[in-house]
Amino acid sequence: MSESADETQLWMVPYADLMSMLVILFMALFGYAYATKTPEMERTLASMELSLDTKNQSQARARLQEAELALELRNELATLGLQDIGLLVSAKRVKLTFPAPVLFDEGSAALAPQAAPLLDSVARLLAAAPNPILVEGHTDNVPIAGGRYRTNWELSAARAFSVVEHLIRRGVDSRRFSARGYAEHRPAADNATAEGRRANRRIEISLLRRGEAEVEEKP
């Protein structure tokens, strides 16, 4: 799954164009209303102006809240000295990427002792925002040999569920969550190398933009 800063720019440009067109349309209608001075048109334009202004304010508040959360997450990671955890802010989400060994022992979906304080900090920040949360588990392409889980599908899904359960126990609303396990089928790097396989063993926690909860993001 690849995302870049360009994604944010691609989202902002059409949004800016749309707002410009709405402003032009509003100005044209205002000019017409001023010329005709009909009470019905004046009431309609007043309603449109209030609706547009309310929507813009709501969107601006949501974007500001997401930016503040991203900054808090970055500061929290720096305070904890966790440089290995990735933080990505895109047009659709604020995403934290955890290398699997930070949260789990090899072949296990039970949270390791060092995972609890880290996820507790994440839970505190996530609880402050109303956005949907997506937790995704990923593995490399090495088949599982023995142990509780028969396949990488089972392991990746179980790890995602373990993270969700911990965050819920720490006060994050359970209705905000969805969880997915992708096994080795959404690689972040090439599974042909040890370094690539290490990068692919990961958990991603994403705070989604409102309205993006059901949008399937392409790898």
| 10-residue stretch averages of pLDDT, the chain, 219 residues long | 41 43 43 50 58 60 64 66 75 89 95 93 88 96 92 98 98 97 97 97 92 53
What's the confidence (pLDDT) of residue 149?
95
Domain segments of the chain as ranges: 64-208
CATH of domain 64-208: 3.30.1330.60
Q: How far is CA 175 from CA 1, 40, 163, 179, 181, in A?
A: 25, 44, 15, 12, 19
What's the confidence (pLDDT) of residue 201?
98
Q: Locate 95 and state its tokens.
A: 């995403």
What's the confidence (pLDDT) of residue 137?
99
Nearest to 104 by CA among 133, 168, 147: 147
Averaged pLDDT score across all residues of the chain: 77
DSSP state of 175: G
What's the confidence (pLDDT) of residue 86?
84
pTM reported for the whole predicted model: 0.66
DSSP state of 102: H
What's the confidence (pLDDT) of residue 78?
63
What's the confidence (pLDDT) of residue 205?
96
Query: Residues 10-45: pLDDT tens digits?
Result: 434 444 444 444 444 444 444 444 454 456 555 555
Q: Locate 124 and state its tokens.
A: 């505190």
Query: Rounded to the nearest 5 degrees, what angle is found at the Cα of 181, between the Cα atoms of 95 and 94?
Result: 10
